[in-house]
Amino acid sequence: MRIGELARRSSVSVRSLRYYEEQGLITSERSPRGQRHFQEEDVERVLFLQRLYAAGLSSRTILELLPCVDSPSLDNSRAALERMAQEREKLSSHITDMLNARDALDAAMARARRAQPVQGQQRTRVSAA
């Protein structure tokens, strides 16, 4: 499939796909006219990359993890597994921070709702004259 089709099917911009290819995260075959052609499995690959980016991983980190994802072996899996464990711990910490932020927003929203007048009633303002 051509790059536009991959972009459409993965909901990722063509520009992002070119960047992924520049970074070595995906590969394509080139036609005699220089057009990029991707395989069916590249749709899942791009979706996987998107999830990692959304979780806050950098291109460099993702590139370090891909050998273990692509072809686990004794040589690359120990180091990659350690790296994945580190990234997982960072994600867990980030999730905890996000949950705490959500709880703080919930509390602020609850206070704001309690401060609003009940429908049909108006609060009387007391002025200091």
Domains of the chain (ranges plus CATH)?
3-112 (1.10.1660.10)
Q: What is the pTM of this model?
A: 0.67
| Residue 53, burial from CB neighbour count under 10 angstroms (0-12, 13-18, 19+) | middle
Instruction: Kindly write down the DSSP assignment for every residue of 12-49, as one continuous string.
Output: --HHHHHHHHHTTSS--EE-TT--EE--THHHHHHHHH
pLDDT at 43: 97
Tens digit of each residue's pLDDT, the chain (129 residues):
999 999 999 999 999 999 999 999 999 999 999 899 999 999 999 999 999 999 888 999 898 888 877 776 666 667 777 878 888 898 899 999 999 999 999 999 999 999 988 766 665 555 554
Give yes or no for a contact between 43 and 6, defined as CB atoms under 8 angstroms apart: yes
The two structure tokens encoding residue 26: 């995906």
Give the model's pLDDT for residue 87. Answer: 85
Q: Which of these, 32, 53, 49, lies nearest to 41 by C-alpha position?
A: 49
Give the pLDDT confidence score for residue 20 in this predicted structure.
Answer: 96
- Residue pair 21/35 in contact (Cβ under 8 Å)? The answer is no
